[in-house]
Amino acid sequence: MKTILLLSHSKDFFTIDRVAAALKEKKIPSFRFNTDLFPEQISLSQRVDLSGASVILQTSNAEIDCKDLAAVWYRKIWSPIIEAEMEDNYLQASIKESIAVRTSFFQSLAPLPWLDPIPTVEQASDKYYQLRMAREAGLNIPKSIFSNSQQEVLAFFESLDGEMIAKLHTPLSFGMGASDFSFYTTKINREDLEDLDMLQICPMIFQEYIPNAFELRVAYVEGECFTGKIEAKGLTDWRMSDPKEVFWTPFTFPREQQDLLKKLMHQLGLSFGAVDFIVQPDGQYVFLEVNPVGEWGMLEKDLDLPISQAIAKALIQKIS
């Protein structure tokens, strides 16, 4: 029977297990590839000659001929972790070569159905592109500027009467928890503008500050919206909150907003996404961003939302 390849990393222990279990319930085998463990703990052999081509993937406890794969779930792709002691130039060369071989492997699987294809995920991860598409889809979006120009950002700050936040294009750490090296969405005060000269070497995203009654995380899976509500009073980013004080609660995402989100996801070419919204005190919905490989485990764990079942169903539909 054909197998579904699950791309993840070695520290992923809940979401991928739930999807694998959901596939097993449907009698669909899966094969897990922890992308960060290649090459040190995983072997990948690509052969090609005049008679054809083949790819064998081996982990510590399993092996698969990739001709037996039917589909791919792109859960996460992490950089290689190589712990062998070596000089830094050799380490960097090893990482570079490993990424090249791994990328070649992914490209060889391009004819298979993916949830979602790497090129689609990469394009859809562009936050400027997201906001443009969200505006075209009819979603409400915050005024935004992506810039490394101190002059432009200062002018933007003044146009917002000082009600401005800053955030990065890409995360500095993996997962949902805070780390020692993180930059979450931050409210900018006038005194912060003195450090804007750093923009020249580190462009950032600046947006109008949106007052919120609460925030939403929507796990979108092939047209279905699984939604959790969170209230983190006084914080511009709920990820900075104390999990003992802030909780996810169920929420019914309005049909009108679901339809607009479906239109956006269709434009982005995504079957899955973790989408963030702010709901303002006056009830207006504001789209913030979509992470094409974002987190949803907390919604399933805390609210018992059947997201893993929906992902398994979507994968099975792709091979039916």
Over residues 130-149, the mean pLDDT reads: 97
| Alpha-carbon torsion, ordered 150, 156, 160, 166, to 10 deg | -60
Share of the chain above pLDDT 90, in %: 82
CA distance 270 to 117: 9
Residue 155 in this model has a pLDDT that exceeds 70: yes
Instruction: Identify which of 273, 257, 276 has the alpha carbon closest to the alpha carbon of residue 311.
Output: 273
Residue 95 in this model has a pLDDT that exceeds 90: yes
Mean pLDDT of the chain: 92
Listing DSSP states for 3-70 in one string gives: EEEEEE-TT--SHHHHHHHHHHHTT--EEEEEGGGTTTT-EEEEEEETTEEEEEEE-SS-EEEGGGEE
Instruction: Identify which of 306, 225, 227, 291 has the alpha carbon closest to the alpha carbon of residue 75.
Output: 291
Over residues 136-158, the mean pLDDT reads: 96
pLDDT in tens, 277-294: 999 999 999 999 999 999
Over residues 108-136, the mean pLDDT reads: 98
- Name the CATH topology of 117-140+211-305: D-amino Acid Aminotransferase; Chain A, domain 1 (3.30.470)
* Phi, then psi, of 284 in degrees rounded to 5: -75, 140
CA distance 196 to 147: 11
pLDDT in tens, 292-305: 999 999 999 999 99
The CATH number assigned to the domain with range 143-209 reads 3.30.1490
CB atoms within 10 A of CB 297: 19
CA distance 208 to 196: 17
pLDDT at 241: 55
Model confidence at 11, pLDDT cuts 50, 70, 90, reads: very high
- Asked whether the domain spanning 143-209 has the same topology as the one spanning 117-140+211-305, the reply is no
CA distance 251 to 230: 9
pLDDT at 284: 98
CA distance 156 to 128: 16
Give me the residue spans of the domains in the chain: 3-112, 117-140+211-305, 143-209
Element (H, E) at 317: helix 307-319
Residue 217 in this model has a pLDDT that exceeds 90: yes
pLDDT at 180: 44
- The first and second tokens of residue 100, run together, are 């090249």
Listing DSSP states for 90-158 in one string gives: HHHHHHHHHHHHHHHHHHHTTTS-EES-HHHHHHHT-HHHHHHHHHHHT-----EEEE--HHHHHHHHH
Instruction: Identify which of 277, 268, 175 has the alpha carbon closest to the alpha carbon of residue 225.
Output: 277
pLDDT at 40: 96
CA distance 265 to 218: 12
pLDDT in tens, 177-208: 444 445 678 899 888 887 777 788 889 999 99
pLDDT at 178: 41
Model confidence at 81, pLDDT cuts 50, 70, 90, reads: very high
- The first and second tokens of residue 97, run together, are 């070569």
| Sign of the CA dihedral with 10 first, then 16, 21, and 26 last | negative
Residue 85 in this model has a pLDDT that exceeds 80: yes
Share of the chain above pLDDT 70, in %: 92
CA 315 to centroid of chain Cα atoms: 18
CB contact set of 13 (below 8 Å; sequence gap of 6+): none
Coil/strand/helix, residue 2:
coil
CA 170 to centroid of chain Cα atoms: 10
Over residues 160-165, the mean pLDDT reads: 95
pLDDT at 199: 81
pLDDT at 201: 87
pLDDT at 223: 97
Model confidence at 9, pLDDT cuts 50, 70, 90, reads: very high
